[in-house]
Amino acid sequence: MSFVLLLLAMTVHELSHGIVAYWLGDDTAKRAGRLTLNPIPHIDLYWTLLFPGILYFATGGRFMIGMAKPVPVDISRLRNPKRDMILVSLAGPSANIMMAAILAFFFNMTHNEWVLSGIYMNLGLGVFNLVPLPPLDGSRILAGLLPAPWTVRFLRVERFGFLLILFLYFTGLLMPWVRMGMDFSCLLLRVPTLTQWLTH
């Protein structure tokens, strides 16, 4: 059930990127068949299966996050490439945070633990993707704010992104920041924090 909730969160995340890109002039995701709630086209071997699996076993099955296969975006097709890339990048995390807020409303009525798990999946995915490391959405947002020459250099790191994120995870430098962002969001939504959930 946890993986189903995560897969739904990842699918909504990528679909949101594609929809906003389409609204802003780029139909690449639509032509690639990625504007769909069917999770299969969004599955990625490393981010959707391997990374969540590592987190699942590391927390005894209590928490995992990951990513779907990134939706293709052709920045040259966007009407205002620099600005619109920021908006496209923000769309995925924003969708997850909105889903978490909706689920929090139902959790505060039902106190159902699966609903709470869905909140954590969406907040985890949203906060994790805002970390400014390629290929996460936060790196695209930062790249859109940097001067053009710096943007090119910064995005060259992307080919090593998966290894870099694994390194930061295993050295304990990544997840404390993600958990801090999730716990703060949980306080705003008036639901138990992830730290409370993992230690109760």
What residues are labeled active site? 14
* Residue carrying the six token digits 């993986």: 3
| Structure-token pair, residue 107 | 């959790």
Element of type H or E holding 144:
helix 137-145
CA-based radius of gyration for the chain: 17
Q: State how far the Cα of 17 lies from the Cα of 44, in Å rounded to an integer.
A: 16
The answer to whether the CB of 34 falls within 8 A of the CB of 42 is yes
| Structure-token pair, residue 196 | 């409370």
Vertex 195 angle, CA 170 and 131, to 5°: 50
Is cis: bond before 70, omega within 30 of 0? no
